[in-house]
């Protein structure tokens, strides 16, 4: 008998037939004597639709009310999944994030889990139930509903697996594992048998939405080994775990593309100490996360000024613009320009630590494809470039071909 956490994403519960399919899968484990906690997402498209509705009411709705709204998506699915199990004569009960004991901080729409008290979950499991928990949501210690950032049901599953000390944590989705790149973009993508936490973390934060990056960070911190696999077949999936020395033999494990970034440029910012600190403090106060930053060479000598560019998520662009409109005089920039027609292409692999010339090879491949590089950032195990959105998928295919198909026959 094992204690298992299974998470089913939006497409795996996309319609009533899919929910019945999930119930059949869960029943197999329950019948075998396992205790099963099932975490479900909102049905495919539901969260996006709720965001769209809110946007039709006002351009920047209150974050607290957004959470109240978005949490309803997962609540629909837990109840339907419980009913689907009941119809198969499996005892099951649904719980909201709060009922499952998930306590978060108060940063609405991007809340962090502070602690989980799973007593009730254990009691219900011990009484023979399958426990179905709403993904993506929690509650502050003073009772406000929060959500954990897009894709946050992954985090619910991993955090619960850690809190209940599960024997197994399975993330069921619509692909049968983690691939070397998004199989929708590159048909030659290969399924990985295993991948290190750090590689998965980079790929996820750089656009591979197969896992929410915060969930991978959590798994790494608390040593939760988990498997990504398909809810539609029984193929073996991909294991995400601690790095092994054998993993260093591969230079590039994966290629990712993030189309959800936008570039903001503040033109003619005074080039003097303290200005950058002010700019990024204002963004942080508005909970806008920034990614790459580029500061150009300064011009002028009497009152030198410079252009400062950085990338934010498209969803935060309007917020970022509002922030700067409010502090134009304080910061003293001349104008602000934005560009949504960008994408971030990255290559990731722990093997990069011990191999030279990887960046040069990547830039050559992009040059041969006539792709212009707008920004670059690197770490020990990744290289990212900002390129134009047009042609970005073609660039992914070229990079994948050189670093994976040809280099790893
Ligand atoms: P879920 O609804 O189950 O959470 P998501 O849509 O969030 O599923 O994530 C699964 C999708 O992630 C896949 O359909 C695939 O297109 C995309 N994806 C992006 N990069 C990768 C990758 N490297 N490996 C596998 N899938 C990927
Ligand atoms: N429903 C939420 C979203 O679409 C959470 C999730 O699917 O994991 O982002
Ligand atoms: Mg997801």
Q: Which of 259, 258, 252, 257 is nearest to 402 (CA)?
A: 252
pLDDT at 298 over 80: no
Please say if the pLDDT value at position 301 is more than 80.
no
Contact 312, 290 (CB under 8 A): yes
Dist. CA 222 → ligand 2 center (Å): 22
Q: What is the pLDDT of residue 224?
A: 97
Out of 22, 192, 210, 237, give the residue to mutate to test ligand 1, the one with the largest number of ligand atoms within 8 Å of its CB: 210
Given a cut of 90, whether residue 372 has pLDDT beyond it is: yes
The total number of residues written for the chain in this structure: 409
Q: Nearest to residue 155, comparing CAs of 212, 96, 204?
A: 212
**Distance from the CA of 226 to the center of ligand 1, in angstroms?**
16
**pLDDT at residue 272 above 90?**
no
Lowest mean pLDDT: which of 81-85, 290-294, 297-301? Answer: 297-301
Write the residue with the smallest CA distance to atom 5 of ligand 2.
Answer: 151
* Pocket mutation for ligand 1, best pick of 8, 21, 148, 182 (most atoms within 8 Å of C-beta): 182
- The pTM of the full predicted model, rounded to 2 decimals, is 0.92
Share of the chain above pLDDT 90, in %: 90
Mean pLDDT of 290-315: 87
Rg (CA), the chain: 23
Tell whether 202 is covered by a domain. no
Of the listed ligands, the closest to the CA of 42 is 2
Q: What is the mean pLDDT of the chain?
A: 95
Mean pLDDT of the 201-209 span: 94
Ligand 1 neighbourhood includes 178 CB (under 6 angstroms): yes
Cβ atoms of 104 and 146 within 8 Å: the answer is yes
User: Between residues 129 and 354, which one has the greater pLDDT?
Assistant: 129
Whichever domain contains 64, its CATH number is 3.40.1160.10
Does residue 151's CB lie within 6 angstroms of at least one atom of ligand 1?
Answer: yes
**pLDDT of res. 53:** 98
Q: What is the pLDDT of residues 38-48, one digit of tens each?
A: 999 999 999 99
* Mutation choice for ligand 2 from 9, 47, 54, 96, CB with most ligand atoms inside 8 A: 47
**Considering only CA atoms, which of 296, 262, 258, 247 is closest in space to residue 276?**
296
Q: What is the spatial distance between Cα 409 and Cα 211, in angstroms, rounded to a whole number?
A: 27
Mean pLDDT, residues 133-160: 98
Answer whether residue 162 is part of any domain.
yes
pLDDT (average), residues 155-182? 97
Determine contact, residues 153/138, Cβ cutoff 8 Å: no
What are the backbone angles phi and psi of residue 334, rounded to the nearest 5°? -85, -50
Q: State whether the beta carbon of 173 lies less than 6 angstroms from ligand 1.
A: yes
Predicted confidence at residue 30, as pLDDT, reads 98
Distance 299 CA to ligand 2 centre (A): 45
Q: Region 346-372: what's the mean pLDDT?
A: 95
Give the separation between CA 246 and CA 243, rounded to whole angstroms: 8
Mutate to test the pocket of ligand 2, among 10, 40, 210, 213 (most ligand atoms within 8 A of CB): 10
Distance between CA 321 and CA 5 in Å, rounded? 41
Q: Which ligand is nearest to the CA of 41?
A: 2
| Alpha helices, DSSP H, located in 171-316 | 197-205, 213-222, 275-285
Tokens of 155: 């985090």
Q: Which residue owns the Cα nearest ligand 1 atom 12?
A: 210
The residue nearest atom 5 of ligand 1, judged by CA position, is 210
In a domain, 81, yes or no: yes
Q: What are phi and psi of 252, to 5 degrees?
A: -115, 115
Q: Is the dihedral of CA 22, 207, 100, 77 positive or negative?
A: negative
Three-state DSSP state, 106: coil
Residue 310 lies in a domain: no
Residue pLDDT, tens place only, 20-35:
999 999 999 999 999 9
Q: Is residue 182 part of a domain?
A: no
In the predicted structure, residue 300 carries a pLDDT above the cut 80 = no
Query: What is the tally of structural domains in the chain?
Result: 1
Q: What range defines the domain where residue 54 resides?
A: 3-174
Is residue 62 in some structural domain? yes
List of residues 6+ apart from 385 with CB closer than 8 A: 344, 345, 346, 362, 363, 366, 373, 374, 375, 376
The tens digit of pLDDT for each residue in 210-232 reads 999 999 999 999 999 999 999 99
Q: What integer is the mean pLDDT of 165-190?
A: 97
**Which residues have a Cβ under 8 Å from the Cβ of 285 and sit 6 or more positions away?**
none
Mean pLDDT of the 91-107 span = 98
Torsion angles phi and psi, residue 12, rounded to 5: -70, -20
Q: For ligand 1, say whether the CB of 208 is within 6 Å of any of its atoms.
A: yes
| Ligand 3: centre distance to CA 322 (Å) | 29
Q: Which residue has the tokens 């020990």?
A: 380
Query: Ligand 1 pocket, 190 CB below 6 A?
Result: no
- Please report which confidence band the pLDDT of residue 204 belongs to, taking 50, 70 and 90 as the band edges: very high
Q: Lowest-confidence range among 128-142, 150-164, 258-272? A: 258-272
Q: 287 vs 223, which has greater pLDDT? A: 223
**16 occurs within a structural domain:** yes
| Banded model confidence at residue 248, pLDDT cuts 50, 70, 90 | confident
Which contiguous run of DSSP H or E holds residue 331?
helix 328-331
Question: Is 38 contained in some domain?
Answer: yes
Residue 168: the pLDDT is 96
Q: Measuring from each residue's beta carbon to the nearest atom of ligand 2, which residues come in under 6 Å?
A: 9-10, 41-42, 47, 73, 135-136, 150-154
Which atom of ligand 1 is least distant from the CA of 208? Answer: 20
CA-to-CA dists, residue 86 to 38, 99, 205, angstroms: 14, 20, 38
Q: How confident is the model at residue 60 (pLDDT cuts 50, 70, 90)?
A: confident
Helix (H) or strand (E) holding 267: strand 261-270
Report pLDDT for 7: 98
Q: How far apart, in whole angstroms, are the C-alpha atoms of residue 385 and residue 229? A: 30
């Amino acid at each position: 008998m094992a204690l298992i956490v299974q998470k089913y994403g939006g497409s795996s519960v996309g319609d009533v037939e899919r929910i019945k399919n999930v119930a059949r899968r869960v029943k197999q484990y329950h019948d075998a004597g396992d205790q099963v906690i099932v975490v479900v997402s909102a049905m495919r498209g539901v969260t996006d639709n709720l965001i769209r509705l809110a946007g039709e009411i006002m351009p920047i709705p209150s974050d607290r009310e957004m959470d109240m709204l978005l949490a309803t998506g997962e609540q629909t699915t837990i109840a339907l999944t419980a009913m689907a199990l009941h119809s198969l004569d499996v005892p099951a009960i649904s719980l909201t994030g709060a009922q499952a004991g998930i306590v978060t901080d108060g940063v609405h729409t991007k809340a962090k889990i502070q602690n989980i008290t799973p007593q009730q979950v254990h009691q219900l499991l011990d009484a023979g139930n399958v426990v179905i928990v709403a993904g993506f949501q929690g509650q502050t210690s003073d009772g406000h509903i929060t959500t954990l950032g897009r894709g946050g049901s992954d985090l619910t599953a991993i955090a619960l697996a850690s809190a209940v000390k599960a024997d197994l944590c399975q993330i069921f989705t619509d692909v049968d594992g983690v691939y070397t790149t998004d199989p929708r973009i590159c048909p030659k993508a290969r399924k990985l048998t295993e991948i290190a936490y750090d590689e998965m973390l980079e790929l996820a934060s750089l656009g591979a939405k197969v896992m929410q990056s915060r969930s991978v960070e959590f798994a790494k911190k608390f040593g939760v080994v988990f498997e990504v696999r398909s809810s539609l077949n029984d193929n073996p999936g991909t294991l995400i775990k601690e790095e092994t020395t054998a993993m260093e033999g591969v230079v590039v494990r994966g290629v990712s593309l993030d189309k959800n970034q936008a570039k903001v440029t503040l033109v003619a910012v005074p080039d003097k100490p303290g200005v950058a600190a002010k700019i990024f403090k204002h963004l942080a106060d508005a909970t806008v996360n920034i990614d790459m930053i580029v500061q150009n060479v300064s011009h002028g000598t009497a009152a030198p000024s410079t252009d400062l560019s950085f990338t934010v998520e498209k969803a935060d662009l309007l917020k970022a613009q509002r922030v700067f409109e409010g502090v134009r005089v304080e910061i003293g920039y001349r104008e602000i320009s934005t560009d949504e027609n960008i994408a971030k292409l990255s290559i990731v692999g722990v093997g990069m630590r011990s191999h030279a010339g990887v960046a040069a090879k990547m830039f050559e491949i992009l040059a041969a494809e006539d792709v212009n590089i707008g920004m670059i950032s690197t770490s020990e195990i990744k290289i990212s470039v900002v390129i134009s959105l047009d042609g970005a998928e073609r660039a992914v295919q070229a990079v994948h071909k050189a670093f994976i198909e040809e280099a790893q026959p």
